[in-house]
Amino acid sequence: MKLTTIIIIALFSISLHAQTDVKIIPQKENMLPRLIVGIVIDQMRYDYLAKYYNKFSQNGFKKLLKQGFNCKNTNFNYAPTYTGPGHASIYTGATPSFHGIIGNNWFVRDSGKVIYVTDDSRVQTVGSLSEKEGKMSPRNLLSSTIGDELRLYSNMKSKVISVALKDRAAILPGGHLSNGSYWFDSESGNFITSTYYNKELPSWVTDFNARRLPDKYLSHPWNTLLPIEQYTESADDNNPYEGLYKGETKPVFPHNLPIMFTKTDYEVLRSTPFGNTITKDIALSALKGENLGKGDYTDFLAISFSSTDYIGHKMGPQSIEVEDTYLRLDLDLAEIITYLEKNYGKDNFLLFLTADHAVAYVPEELMDLKMNAGYFSYKIFSDSLKKYLYREYNDSNLVSCIINDQIYLNRSLIKRKNINLKNLQDDIVSFSLTFNGVANAYTSYQLNGETLKNKSAELMQNGFFIKRSGDIALLLEPAWLDDYSHTGTSHGTTYSYDTHVPLLWYGCNIKPGYTSKPVDITDIAATVASFLNIMPPSACIGKPIF
């Protein structure tokens, strides 16, 4: 052996021994969980975990917190924080700037109309006589989901099933290759789907609908689970910041559900905790009916609990109604977890729980407490903007639509009149900043390419998709909402009360613990992909959580 070769080998050996911080771990057998369960709770603030902790059961949220892993500092890394973008971002690991779901609705310049996130005129309803409710599909979603990647990896042998009350909360998590996505139809009281997935409902969904559970859940008033005096974490039952259910004069328990629905209108079920319970019911039926996690390939079940959002919007986060809903949801979760442990074993499933966004306190209440908060009237703003444009540009028709805190300009008219688009956008930004409640405004030129160091601007940039987004985006001040109601609340901003959500992991190879390190919502799909040793979704920007 040549001397130079001996020297090189010796130096390499010394180098290996010197790197004491490098841990060599032998490759383990490729053991995968048989089932992934993704749970998304619509409109859940992170602080609800602590706020209601003492009243939770041992087998629901508490079990996930005690025996699972808690990512305590999980935030959405874009805005607007709405249901459609939230579900899309969780399951694609991407922000709207990549997956294209910029809102629940948005304006389409080519047609001059506002479209709904999952609208699809090419498909038909399956499971109801309603023509509109089933004309839905995931075609507007530009990225693959983690479920899509699982299906592709297994050569379409893995199953992906998704269920929710809201169509968008079932369709977007299910992705393009879902074996079945099912949502609630208020007209029939059935869970339905569209011909994008199947031409008819599978027998297990037909059997589930035949049980007529909505009639059962709406046959009695909604009273509190515990004696009402024990709800010390919430405000008084009768307060001026809560909305009213149909036929009520006060926002107080009990809520008389039997008088609020008919056999052709089950809409009220969504705004009760029993909407979550029936979602739990169909999720358990899906596990059995589809034989999920019992085959040779990993399967995926996506569950979204939507009633928390409907109730939160109506009543606000300080209400007894919201607290009671979470205590009941805790029992529904306990039933799901217990079923999974009994029928699969803890080591054979991986469960994550998160939210599609959080929510603000009721601005009217904050104003009464002399805090900065308020309501922004887009009607007044729009009328004033038209007058300003007529005065400056001799035309009041330069704005096509205002939606999602974004202003869409009439591009064709602007081009015909030879108006400089960038200058016009800059002028509208300056005009917008004169309004009380507007913290800042950004043009499409800024959001599409510039480096914006302001945190809120960065989140708005991550939510901007040039082919679908507007020309100017407004950022309201903290605790300011659209002036549509002074009771209840909403969400959609860049602020922590809308972006900070729970993220809990439980099951296969999950050891108890927590981290306070920042985690982005887009990291969830990347982490699941890492668990499964598959490629992350096509537009994924997230990183696996360690």
Using one digit for the tens of pLDDT, what is the confidence trace for 128-173? 988 889 999 999 999 999 999 999 999 999 999 999 999 999 999 9
pLDDT bin (cut points 50, 70, 90) of residue 449 is confident
Position 453 scores a pLDDT of: 83
Position 377 scores a pLDDT of: 97
Position 14 scores a pLDDT of: 36
DSSP-derived pairing of the beta strands 35-41 and 299-305: parallel
Residues of the chain with CATH 3.40.720.10: 35-146+159-364+494-532
Position 29 scores a pLDDT of: 53
Position 32 scores a pLDDT of: 86
190 beta partners: 185
Active site residue ranges: 83
pLDDT bin (cut points 50, 70, 90) of residue 53 is very high
Question: Hunting for tokens 């609908």 — which residue is that?
Answer: 209
Cα angle for residues 227, 270, 246 (degrees, 5° grid): 75
CATH number for the segment(s) 35-146+159-364+494-532: 3.40.720.10
Q: Tens digits of per-residue pLDDT, 327-349?
A: 999 999 999 999 999 999 999 99
Percentage of the chain modeled with pLDDT above 70 = 95
DSSP state at residue 59? T
Residue 6 scores a pLDDT above 80: no
Specify whether the CB–CB gap between 402 and 525 falls below 8 A: no
Residue 10 scores a pLDDT above 70: no
| Residue 73, Cβ density class (10 Å: 0-12 exposed, 13-18 middle, ≥19 buried) | middle
Separation between Cα atoms, residue 330 and residue 70, nearest integer Å: 17
Position 484 scores a pLDDT of: 87
Average pLDDT score over residue span 3-23? 39
Q: Tens digits of per-residue pLDDT, 176-225?
A: 999 999 999 999 999 999 999 999 999 999 999 999 999 999 999 999 99
The count of residues in the chain is 546
Percentage of the chain modeled with pLDDT above 90 = 91
DSSP-derived pairing of the beta strands 160-164 and 180-185: parallel
Crossing angle for the helix pair 320-343 and 307-315, to the nearest 10 degrees: 170
Residue 5 zone, left/alpha/beta (φ > 0; ψ -120 to 50; rest): alpha
Closest CA to 91 of 531, 527, 532: 527
Position 348 scores a pLDDT of: 97
pLDDT averaged over the chain? 94
Residues of the chain with CATH 3.30.1360.150: 374-477
Q: Tens digits of per-residue pLDDT, 14-34?
A: 333 333 344 444 444 567 899
CATH number for the segment(s) 374-477: 3.30.1360.150
